[in-house]
Amino acid sequence: MTRTGIRAWAWVHKWSSLISTAFLLMLCVTGLPLIFHDEIDRLTGEPPRFGMPGVGSSGTAPGLLSLDTMLARALANRPGEVPLYMAFDNDQPSMTITTGPRPDAPAAEMTIQSFDRSTGRLIEAVNEDSVSGVAAVMHFILELHTDMFLGLPGMLFLGVMGLCFVAALVSGVVLYAPFMRKLDFGTLRTARAARTKWLDYHNLLGITALAWMLVVGVTGVINAFAVPIEAAWKANELAAMTREYAGRAPLDPARYGSLDKAMAAARGRLPGNNPQFIAFPGGTFSSNHHYAVFFQGDTPLTERLLTPALVDAETGTFTAARPMPWYYQALSLSRPLHFGDYGGLPLKLLWAALTLFTIHVLGTGLYLWLGKRKAPAAAPAPSAPVPVPVAEPAE
């Protein structure tokens, strides 16, 4: 690579790193506890006991109360509110029903009730005002990690920081090859000055964790753009599926029909799939006239890919079903992959170790840049091109 090329890539690496480092450090620190959110929830709360262990709440097994019955109980607990979502657990008979003051209520106004569908017992009711203790701390960390309490602008800003991170990784790889041309892979020059030693640690950990950092960086960017992705799906795919309902006034919640009838109609069109949740009319994931029943596959991969079936909420007749487009499938796969939710605790421990690696890479990169700024003026450059270290681009 020519000196001009090295300097160009070094410029990209330096500024993409410097612009994003502070925010990436915040994301790494807040991401560590979020990797273990399931384990923290189990340790800090008493696990609920169900009447029929092992029976999934999305099924129709004898002994499970009907969906209409469960919805009636949830609404009785929240007079004046309307249903927004109903979600299922395919491993046990637990389910959640989310309600709010109106169909388009924001998350801050929602109440989530957890039930044992085998007995109808209310397990827990959670809204923004009732969150306390460890759950409140985890909620705080999640919001800071997701949007820095700025809503959509915060999400988009962090998405841009994620793009800077990806640019820093790519440019770092380009610069790593000429830097290591005369050194063996993994060389740590511990006998040299502290600055050189930290540079070697920076490069070694950076190249070792490169693939993981790219995965987490790209999935983080996709997650940050979740709202525009969901809006695009609603404006295009959902609008096409419900074109015959265009121009109609939104369906009044008082006219909602049977959920059990709607579920039977949806299951009949998508056999072999498990319902994950139902979105009620008027919300983000449905039209103004439909129950949107989202189904998942029955394998570790396809259970992350959703297929919505739309059923007329008043009549219970099937309207349409189609797989999510590629961009929404990318979002569905990115959400669990970002936090290592695919392989249980061993994968989460690996994710945590690699997060610590990334904190070290970010910290040493910043240290090397600050040290260079404080160093005396460098000697005149030699006549022959000199490879530029990954974390120490020429200015």
- How many Å apart are CA 351 and CA 335, to the nearest integer? 14
376, pLDDT greater than 60: no
What pLDDT digit, counting tens, does each position of 7-37 carry? 899 899 889 988 999 999 999 999 999 999 9
- For Cα atoms 366, 372, 375, give the angle at the middle one, nearest 5 degrees: 145
Asked if residue 244 lies in contact with residue 262, where contact means CB atoms within 8 angstroms, the answer is no
Other residues' Cβ atoms within 10 Å of the Cβ of residue 293: 29
What pLDDT digit, counting tens, does each position of 195-242 carry? 777 777 777 777 778 889 999 999 999 999 999 999 999 999 999 999
Asked if residue 269 lies in contact with residue 289, where contact means CB atoms within 8 angstroms, the answer is no
pLDDT of residue 11: 92
Of 12, 3, 115, nearest to 66 by C-alpha is: 115
Of 121, 130, 221, 117, nearest to 168 by C-alpha is: 221
Write down the mean pLDDT value for the chain: 86
